[in-house]
Chains A and B, each alone.
Chain A
Amino acid sequence: MSLFKDAGHLFRFAFLFVVAFFVFLVVRHFVVPKTFGEYGHYRAAAIGEIAAHPIHFAGHETCETCHADILDVKKAGKHAGVNCEACHGPLANHANDPSIAPPKLDTAVLCIRCHAVSAAKPKGFPQIDPAQHSGGVPCETCHQPHSPAIQTGGAK
């Protein structure tokens, strides 16, 4: 009895802890999103929200249904493995409605995005120093974007 009385202040302190813990639980209940943890350590509803974003990329298969001619050229060249929209940018709206014209590309900017020399790129990858190589002349003056290799001996 006297132990209980003389330890009373300890119970008060412990009570504070319990209260704090309950406040924590209540706050947690309100701030943690309802669908958190449904599938994993994230908000499950985020999947739906992300899926609802408008689609920007159509995918190269879609382009190829209408631009089969380009595909034939590209397939034969060095850019066979490069997707249409890697160069042309996202064009889903154009694929849905071809009357929306895709923006014109500036090859002087576009091509060096991939081909500028950098020590971090694998040695086998074709790289050029644009200033030395063409001195600002647009690349398509000499290279055909869809089949860029210049046949040695062929017309420039």
Chain B
Amino acid sequence: MSGVEGYMYPNEITLYWSVLIVLYPYITGLVAGAFILASLVRIFNVKAVAPTYRLALLTALAFLIVAPLPLMFHLGHPERSPEMYFTPHATSAMAMFGYVYMWYLMAVLVFEIWLDYRRDIVHLSQSTTGLKRLLYRVMTLGSDNVSPHALAIDHKVGWIVTLVGIPSAFILHGYVGFIFGSLKSNPWWNSPLMPVVFIFSAMVSGIAAVLLIYMFTAKMRKMPIDMPCVDTTAMYLFYIFILDFSLEMLDLIHRVYEADESFRTLNFMVHTKLYFSQIVLQICIGTLVPLLLLAIVQVTNLPAIIRKRIYVISGCLVQVAVFSMRWNVVIGGQLFSKSFLGYTTYKMALVTKEGLLMAIFLTLLPLAILWVLLKLLPPWPDKELAYIEAAAAPTT
């Protein structure tokens, strides 16, 4: 049998959880991470990162919309997916996740974005024309009450929504880790640390993604990058990354010390089939290098231009690390036989329903959605939006 070494049970030879299943936790992770960054502003009052607040919310929304698509392409028959909502089974983690997803999408993200943008939406509905005006009018839900008192109420309600949103984000992404961690038949996955590791790596990837998107959009708009903002974001990235890395190492040390009956097999796998994606990409290039770079920024006094470069490089490397972490979990868990006597190989298809092209498409799709959202609901700081206010001034 091609690609098989040693002994595999017949049902283990083909990998069924493909690259799309790698993409899925990666995307939900970005959502949870971006939202946590937004909550830093709202709940933890970290004023410095305020310029990323709206951008983080829109990023989370764009990725959340795409999050179920990898699953649908993997499973096929998307028309059956609503049945999960109509006739859910209490023992199905997937069905429960469907509700968490809906809740998080509508009651947390959309609601919070709506509250935060209401003033802008009302202004835009008065200053634009034609189809756009109609769209904004619909989004106001027919209420153009933006009196200071109404906005104050929005602010309080928004705070509560964010507060509720933090555990929701944790559940949303913790669930993905839970699915793997609770699989007692697979020693590579079965670990109660799994959900925790997933959540922390999610925060890392989400914060890094918003940092990158913020710097990129600033460049595109030819606006100066708010250095205190990116410095603070990078600082949080650094600290959370350390936590994440420690947790992953704790998991590793625990496995090494415990050395249960699966250990020899998994150890061999890490040194052969997963060597590049785990040791080289995830740990060395993706984790140690950016940690070192970010640490240098923390202890030295580098000029802004160098810091910016470091942030871009670290941000990209972090994405590599988190994506390969998902890869190593999902693909790694299917490479070895339950008999511990053999290994198989994952051959990624190119143009199939679950192939590489589809994965690339699903990675780019949220960015396209984000682009539309940015056009529709500009998240840029108030002073840059002054012209809108000026245009709206006579009518209010």
Contact = CB atoms under 8 A, between A and B. Distances in A.
Q: Do A and B bind each other?
A: yes
Interface stretch (A3-11, A45-53, A100-108, A122-130): A3-11
B141 interface: yes
B9 interface: yes
B118 A9 contact: yes
Nearest to B7: A119
A12 B86 contact: no
A32 B82 CA distance: 11
B369 to A, nearest CB: 21
Interface in B80-134: 82, 85-87, 89, 106-107, 111, 114, 118
A8 B145 contact: yes
Interface string B131-161: 0000000001111010101100110010000
A120 B9 contact: yes
Contacts of A41: 87, 89
Contacts of A27: 86
A28 interface: yes
Interface residues of B, number: 24
Contact of A12 (B106, B143, B147): B143
Given A13-B111, A120-B10, A7 B89 contact: no
A9 B86 contact: no
A5 B145 contact: yes
Contacts of B82: 31
A104 B150 CA distance: 84
A31 B86 contact: yes
Given A12-B142, A13-B111, A7 B153 contact: yes
A9 B9 contact: no
Interface string A12-24: 1100110010001
A151 interface: no
Contact of B149 (A2, A24, A36): A2
Interface in A53-79: none
A32 B87 contact: yes
Given A7-B150, A7-B153, A13 B114 contact: yes
Contacts of B89: 41
Contact of B147 (A6, A16, A20, A31): A6
Output the residue of A7, A17, A20 with the most chain B CB within 10 A: A7
A96 B199 CA distance: 63
Nearest to A36: B87
A10 B7 contact: no
B316 to A, nearest CB: 38
Contacts, number: 46
A60 B7 CA distance: 37
B145 A32 contact: no
Interface residues of A, number: 23
Contacts of A24: 85
A9 B145 contact: yes
Contacts of B85: 24, 28
Interface string B1-42: 000000101100000000000000000000000000000000
A143 B9 CA distance: 31
Contacts of A16: 141
Given A6-B149, A6-B150, A6-B153, A13 B141 contact: yes
Contacts of A13: 111, 114, 141
Given A5-B145, A28-B86, A10 B10 contact: no
Contacts of A37: 87
Output the residue of A7, A8, A13 with the most chain B CB within 10 A: A13
B114 to A, nearest CB: 7
B152 to A, nearest CB: 8
B342 to A, nearest CB: 10
Contacts of A2: 149
Contacts of A3: 153
Nearest to B142: A12
B157 A10 contact: yes
A9 B150 contact: yes
Interface in B160-185: none
Nearest to B141: A12
Contact of B86 (A5, A32, A119, A120): A32
A94 B82 CA distance: 45
Output the residue of A10, A16, A31 with the most chain B CB within 10 A: A10
A10 B153 contact: yes
The 6 A-B residue pairs with the shortest CB-CB distance, nearest first, are: A9-B143, A6-B150, A12-B141, A6-B149, A28-B86, A32-B86
24 contacts: A2-B149, A3-B153, A5-B145, A6-B145, A6-B147, A6-B149, A6-B153, A7-B150, A7-B153, A8-B145, A9-B118, A9-B145, A9-B150, A10-B153, A10-B157, A13-B111, A17-B106, A20-B106, A28-B85, A28-B86, A31-B86, A32-B87, A37-B87, A41-B87
